[in-house]
Structure 1
Amino acid sequence: MTKDKSIFIKNIYYMLSYAFTTLRKSVYDNIRKEPFDNIHNLFAAILSKGIGLQLKQGLYKEYMGHADNLTTLRGKINIPETIRNKMRNQIAVTCDYDELSENNLMNRILKSTVLLLLKQKNVQEKYKTELKKEMLFFSGIEPIELTHIRWTDIRFQRNNQTYQLLLAICQLLIEGTLLTTEHGEYRLAGFLDKQRMERLYEKFILEYYAQEFGARIKGFSSKALQIPWQLDDGYGALLPVMQTDITLVYGKQMLIIDAKYYEHTLQTHFDTQTLHSENLYQIFTYVKNKEAALKGTNHKVAGMLLYAKTDEPLVPDHVYQMSGNQISIKTLDLNREFSEIAEQLNRIVKDFFHIEIDKQTEDIKWPD
């Protein structure tokens, strides 16, 4: 999808920094300045810095259930097991109790991901050395089988919010990128798969607009909203949920953006290239249902398909007027310096909402 891998990988760091604002802490500043020629070095660098920061704050602990034979009462007595002890002439009470432990799911995932990175030949020694030092503090934590991780079991709350970035990196590395060799060992695929990149791409655009415009311009918002079906009879059984990737609102104007990260921006049928039909149908449906919901409020609703640029020679850049609504097709070139990517995103807002970018966002400092 890109020609200069090092620029693209550096931009993944910037995309992550919007999705997870923790990356903007000064401890990560050196990472921003480093050149990376593969994704594993980037993730190893982020993990080594992030785990080091976590160790200073203390590893997250949670109550874990234990069952032990004790000479003194602790927790609740396990009566069946205690009776068995008595029958074996053992003077012990079996107790079930909870104890704060670092050997929990989050820390086990961290350790297992680091162990995976340490086995990769293309991870630089400087990152491996730092990670090995940090793993000394994980000696009491058991690794977890990577294929057995249930990401839906992870719950974040006030005491473990600092793990969100670290576990997101772990998930990007593990989920969908693991390959098994004939010897039964894991190796990482050369890059993030399309599904994970698409999710990051969507999250980045959503958070970019939320942080750079929503936080600075009164009345501007960037959210992933659901659009209700506008039904004549109210019967909506079996209809799918209409979940937008990004919905920008400013005053009485609304731009619904569907972010698309494909290997091929266009589809080919009988040697003719066209836009992906399902993408166009989807954004048109979103726009028309939202327009119907806002009928009588004088709102302007438009839609946009925002594709990540590929190496294909034809780059879609079109604006269509469909049944009274504007539907535009744009591409975002992720293989440019980040300041240029920001300029592309800013131009979308300027052209649609007619916001004077220079005046409204003069305090924005783009990454180097």
Structure 2
Amino acid sequence: MEKNNHIPIRNIYYMLSYAYQTLNFSEYKQIGTEKFENIKELYAKILSIGIPVLIRGGLSKDYISVEETSNVIKGKMDINSTIKNNALVNKKVAVVYDEFSENILLNQIIKATLVYLSRSYQISKKMRRLFYGLLPYFTEVSDVELSLNLWKNVKYDRQNIRYQFTVDVCRYLYEQLLLDESSASQMMKEVQDEQRLSSLYEKFIYAFFKRETNYNVSHPQIQWSVDDDFVDALPVMQTDLVLQKDKKTLIVDAKVYSENMAVRFEGGVAKQKSSNLYQIFTYINNWEKEADETVAGMLLYAKTTALNQPNHLYHIKGNQIIVVSLDLQQDFSGIKENLLAHADQFFMEV
């Protein structure tokens, strides 16, 4: 079975299930019983179900600005464009107006993805035909060139949040196919795969504790504890996960790397990644503690195939820092047991 960064496809499915509760819907239940040879098949299957679900619910619309030359004045007349384009010769004027349209970025991304997948020979012929057959539903949507930059401009709100899962999976699959087609070095491919998995890992860890435990679960930004209120240019401290219960707070930072520990030279002693320790230590020290509150930090790495894996407990200047790794290759029951045990390590101690 092909693995994504050494993680079995079945566990990628479970991670998606937690990170996006959409997979609990009846339309997706058949996926849980199927076997997939590679991650591309899983993503393609999800999209083959998710995109029709969006279509049946009606494609989202929003007001977009339209600029055109017309012999009917509507919206605002653009005098400069009218003169520049010499529109008056044809008894027309340039106008700018808002139109309630399906031609929005989210629909453009899905259409571009459908075009790309319908032509990709890395997808089965059956899937290519299915994706091609969905394109007529997007005739009112402009064609755009598919690129990773498109996702950078995506914003969600209450009206379009139903798109998030499908649009994210569009990106996961596009990145996977792009990576396979690329002639980049194996090292660069591993870095890109690591970045893609990191986002899913963070979402999964947060959703797991939200669903499976009674902790107060959040992921707030931590404010810098400055002496004079001057915070200009200070970096944002965005937590991945904060667990709270009974005056105890555990700040968790989820990490995905090809190597979880640093070795300066072959055969050298493995050390913790200093930047990660500095980060979690800074989070702890800037957390605004309440009276009698105990605050600790945890670095939760996704376990790699390397011999040396972090499994340490430190007490530094009165602060407890737990550094552990989670084996994502084991059965999911083991993943669940390990995650609960890692949290209990802090919350159950007397």
Distance 1:325 1:76 in 2: 62
Equivalent residue number for residue 333 of structure 1: 327
Deviations 1:227-281 (A, max 9, x none): 3333456555544333222111112011111111010111112412111122122
In structure 2, what is the Cα distance between the partners aligned to 1:123 and 1:3?
17
Q: Paired residue for 1:281?
A: 278
- The answer as to 2:304 corresponding to 1:304 is no
Contact 1:228 1:289 in 2 (8 A): yes
Task: Tell me how far apart the structure 1 counterparts of residues 221 and 4 of structure 2 sit (CA, whole Å).
Answer: 37
Query: Which amino acid in structure 1 is aligned with residue 336 of structure 2?
Result: A
Paired residues for 1:1-368 under 5 Å: 8-79=8-79, 84-86=86-88, 88=89, 90-92=90-92, 94-147=94-147, 149-174=149-174, 178=178, 193-213=193-213, 217=214, 220-231=215-226, 236=231, 238-270=233-265, 271-290=268-287, 293-294=288-289, 297-354=291-348
Matched with 1:186 is none
Once the two structures are superposed, residues 93-139 of structure 1 have per-residue CA deviations (whole angstroms, 9 ceiling, x without a partner) of 55433333323221111111122223333323333232222223223
* Cα distance between partner residues in 2 of 1:282 and 1:6: 27
Q: Is the 8 A contact 1:303 1:327 kept in 2?
A: yes
Moved more, 306-315 or 32-41: 32-41
Distance 1:102 1:227, change over 3 A: closer
Q: Distance in 2 between matches of 1:67 and 1:277?
A: 53
Q: Write the distance in 2 (CA, Å) between the matches of 1:6 and 1:195.
A: 14
1:72 to partner: Cα distance: 4.4
Question: Cα offset for 1:342?
Answer: 1.4
Q: Percent identity?
A: 39
Q: CA deviation at 1:158?
A: 2.9
Distance in structure 2 (CA, Å) of the matches to 1:43 and 1:191: 20
SS at match of 1:147: coil
Against the structure 1 CA distance between its residues 339 and 119, is the aligned structure 2 distance closer, same or farther, given a 3 Å change threshold?
farther
Q: Distance in 2 between matches of 1:329 and 1:60?
A: 44
Q: Please give the alpha-carbon distance, in whole angstroms, between the structure 1 residues aligned to 2:307 and 2:6.
A: 22
How many residue pairs get matched?
339
Letter in 1 for 2:39: I
CA distance in 1, matches of 2:115, 2:347: 49
For the residue of structure 2 that corresponds to 1:195, the secondary structure is: helix
**For residues 327 and 153 of structure 1, what CA distance do their matches in structure 2 show?**
36
Question: Contact 1:258 / 1:305 at 8 angstroms: preserved in 2?
Answer: yes
Contact 2:67 2:95 in 1 (8 A): yes
Task: Output the CA distance in 1 between the equivalents of 2:135 and 2:6.
Answer: 28
Amino acid at match of 1:286: Y
- Does the CA-based 8 Å contact 1:207-1:222 persist in structure 2? no
Instruction: Work out whether residues 308 and 334 of structure 1, in 8 Å CA contact, stay in contact via their aligned partners in 2.
Output: yes
Q: Which runs of 5+ in 1 are unaligned?
A: 183-188, 356-368
Give CA deviations for 1:56-98 in whole Å, capped at 9, x if unaligned: 1111222333344545444344456667454x3x455554333
Q: Secondary structure at the match of 1:240?
A: coil
